[in-house]
Structure 1
Amino acid sequence: MSLRYYIFLKDVLILALTTFGGAQAHFAMMFKLLVEKRRYLTEQELIELNALCQILPGPTSTQTITAIGFRIGGANLAYLTLLVWITPAAFIMAIAAIVISYLQQNNISLDFLRFIQPMAVGFVAFAAWMISVKVVNTKVAIILMVISAVLSYFFRSPWVYPLLLIAGGAVTAFRFKQHPQEKDKRLNIQWANFFLYVGVFILAAALGGITSSLPVRLFENFYRNGSMIFGGGQVLIPLMYTEFVEFKHYLTGDEFLSGYAIAQALPGPTFSITSFVGNLAMRQHGIAGQMLGSFVATVGIFLPGTFLIFFVIRFWEGLKKYRVVRASLEGISAVSSGMVIAAAIMLYHPIDNTLLNFSIVLATFGLLMFTRIPAPVLILTGLLLGFVL
């Protein structure tokens, strides 16, 4: 491996340890380090890669940085890029889950987390607001957002969310004539990574059904979720809460909120919360089982997006010229926004409905809206107040 590749991976590690704030903040840091300082690619190339990853299901910032690795050094460097990017946050979330399990097993109070749980709801509410402001700009989009929020709240089956996303994209795809037409739309499609993506999906589902093995079923659950998430980590939250808290009872609502708040305080991908959820799902199998749960959950959530970016990047230049593709994004984005609104309401239910908790939600939302206080500082302050008070 050339020296340039080692330097690139070192830069990726720096980003993994220093980029807080979700996909938009990640994009800004990538632009500063990878475009302005290192010149691995141009500003336009980074913008286009990021746009491509927003079209695909999966973690946007993770797919973007993996795609950059692919363009620089092919598939091998891309896989190394993915590993370096996700490992720090996933490992920390696994340790956090083990600590929480240990405290519970030894009847040690988790009351010190009582402030960061309503703060987590404030973070989700702020995410819903920010997504809505950016992507909901037409009457059709507003209607789709409201319908999505209502259906997401009242029908909490894990399969409702992907159906809503598909339906939303289909509705606005019919408005493709509003987009300018472009020529030269020839596609040269190489299907290997798509077949790999589908093959792993089918194999995981079949093995999970045959063996009833919890690690295999966890891998299938997270692989399926990773295949159906449009809009980043904020959209993943309602799906995971519905499936793993309300439907399968792998962890409690308080535990989930605590994990989400901790994830907000960490650099790197927001999807690292899957390491926390997978860990607690395997708590009956000891520390080794918990670490296995973190591993299969993390691999499961990130792998489909990786396969898909490897598949699509090869014919992206032609695909983005299709008006139907561009038009469908409006509906997908609006539905995603509605799902995050529903998530903010659902996540508040496990918390005691007191004036203090409601005030903490509002205060967190207000601080995120009107100040530039970093999310990690807010979360660490909440933890400190939990210990002191």
Structure 2
Amino acid sequence: MSSPAEAEAETSEGPSGGREGNWGEVLRAFLILGVTSFGGPVAHIGYFREAFVVRRRWLSERAYADLVALCQFLPGPASSQIGVAIGLARAGMKGAFAAWAAFTLPSALLMVLFAYGTGWIGAAAGTGWLRGVKVVAVAVVAQAVLTMARSLCPDRTRAGFAVAAAALTLLLPGWGAQIGVIAGGGVLGLLLLRGKGTGTDEVEPDGGSQLAGSLRPRQAAGALIAFFSLLALLPALAAAAGGSQTLSALAGFYRAGALVFGGGHVVLPLLDAVVVAPGRISSDAFLAGYGAAQAVPGPLFSFAAYLGTLLAPGAAGLASAALCLGALYLPSFLVLFGTLPFWQRLRQRRQAQAALSGINAAVVGLLLAALYDPVWVAGVHNRADAALVFVCLLLLEGWRLPSWAVVGVGALAGTGLAMAGL
């Protein structure tokens, strides 16, 4: 797959013995991708391969395949983690930050503008377009459930895990039950799924040799300690501060980023528990932003910038957006940095593969439950809405239209339905 805007003819010497890059070239390369990479994480992985394996030759095919496998194994947004790892291998920590900023901030800024503009746009155009965007979110999540179920629940055992996880999540709402479902999936995977793989593509075992020297084991261990320490300390700090809204939000966004297995869409129920369940953001505003996130390039996690903007009024929304975006991303990068030097040994262990198989099946169930509540419950209110869901799902799954185009169709259709009184 070729990137839609790879017009810049920037190449370097091959991956074995080529010159080391600098953070400026990393920034330029990822900025092109950050403003043109529509289509979600699977498409992003294809764009990255074309840009950095085929054209620039920053990595070998084998190293890239191994990196993709690692980022599918870890919690967090796979495409963003792949980009950060490429930047790290090319230009150290400065390159890692440049890759993340250039790929993420364009879509994050668009989401901040959307959050600020929701009020006056809604006043000018009525609520029909927002209604359509929420309906598109239903179709997008339904497509994600279908796609993930095909890949991650290929047999009766894992399909059973997914259904049980969905039922438990619906019967026991809240982030505590979500953590329990994910942990339970890992335990059941260890007991029942050894030898059944992870649901990801197999790659050659030495493909990560190019990345193994990017971090020292001591630095990796420090990153893992920080990952688990923040996961435990942030909720405690929020409680000690008397339920501080800011610390509670940071703890919630960090926890969500630490538990996103199986794809960016899984962040939906986790963030719903952080901002909608406590009443900080309405369900309508939440789903409108989630739908809008499908129409911008770059990673789905930029949705956090939208939520952060809504959590704080006025100019304070910018700082809140930055904090929420950083809190959501930080755990995925800490666990990436903590795992890179040990990846080959870890992924060859059958116990780790079995646990991941169970976790992946459980998160399919988590997303299936989210498809009903909050997505369907908040987005579909009558038969006209349901009909529009089916049309949008056909456009996504049958006609293979890009998400941003379907968002436009949904917004126009929602406006038309509102004008017609349907």
TM-score (norm 2): 0.84
1:74 to 2:74 alignment: no
1:355 alignment partner in structure 2: 383
Q: CA RMSD in A?
A: 2.5
Q: Does 1:218 align with 2:235?
A: no
Q: 1:371-382 residue pairs with structure 2 within 5 A? A: 371-382=399-410
Report the equivalent of 1:109.
126
Which amino acid is 2:43 matched to?
A: A
- Which amino acid in 2 is paired with 1:378? V
Higher share of residues assigned helix: 1
Once the two structures are superposed, the pairs formed by residues 195-206 of structure 1 within 5 Å of their partners are 195-206=225-236
Please list every run of 5 or more consecutive structure 2 residues that lacks an aligned counterpart in the other structure.
1-18, 198-203, 207-211
Q: Which residue of 2 aligns with 1:291?
A: 318
Once the two structures are TM-superposed, the CA of residue 259 in structure 1 deviates from its matched residue by 0.5
What are the equivalent positions in structure 2 for 1:248-287 lying under 5 Å apart?
Answer: 248-282=278-312, 286-287=313-314
Which whole-Å deviations, capped at 9, do the CAs of 1:242-278 have from their partners, x for residues lacking one?
A: 3321x21111221111101100001111111111112
**Alpha-carbon distance in structure 2 between the residues aligned to 1:361 and 1:384:** 13
Whole-angstrom distance in 1 between the partners of 2:378 and 2:407: 19
Query: What fraction of aligned residue pairs are identical, expressed as a percent?
Result: 27
Partners of 2:145 and 2:367 within 8 A in 1 = yes
Give 5+ residue unaligned stretches, structure 1: none
Q: CA deviation at 1:89?
A: 1.1
Which letter does structure 2 place at the counterpart of 1:317?
Q
Partner secondary structure for residue 314 of structure 2 = helix
- Offset at residue 93 of structure 1 (A): 0.9
**Structure 1: how far apart are the matches of 2:138 and 2:193?**
36
Instruction: Kindly provide the amino acid, as one letter, of the partner of residue 379 in structure 1.
Output: V
Change in Cα spacing, 1:183 to 1:56, as seen in structure 2 (3 Å) is closer
1:275-318 Cα shifts (integer Å, max 9, x gaps): 11122122xxx322211221111000001111110110011121
Structure 1 equivalent of residue 184 of structure 2: 167
The match for 1:157 is 174
Is the contact between residue 166 and residue 369 of structure 2 (CA under 8 Å) also seen in structure 1?
yes
Counterpart CA distance in 2 for 1:76 and 1:379 is 35
Matching residue's letter, 2:408: L
Quick one: higher RCO (CA 8 Å, sep 6+), 1 or 2? 1
SS of the residue corresponding to residue 378 of structure 2 reads coil
CA deviation string 1:64-99 (max 9, x = no partner): 111111122222211222222211111111111111
How many positions carry a matched residue from both structures? 381
- Distance in 1 (CA, whole Å) between partners of 2:403 and 2:99 is 25
- 2:47 paired residue number: 29
Of residues 21, 24, 27 in structure 2, which corresponds to 1:9? 27
Distance 1:354 1:4, change over 3 A: same
In structure 2, the partner of 1:310 is 337
Give the Cα separation in 2 of the matches to 1:313 and 1:128.
29
CA gap of 1:183–1:377, structure 2 versus 1, over 3 A, is closer
**Distance of 1:296 and 1:5 partners within structure 2:** 24
Q: Is the alpha carbon distance of 1:183 and 1:123 closer, same or farther for their aligned partners in structure 2, counting shifts above 3 Å?
A: closer
DSSP 3-state at the match of 1:266: coil
Q: Which string of whole-angstrom CA distances, capped at 9 and with x for unpartnered residues, describes residues 296-352 of structure 1? A: 110000011111101100111211111111122211111111111111111111235
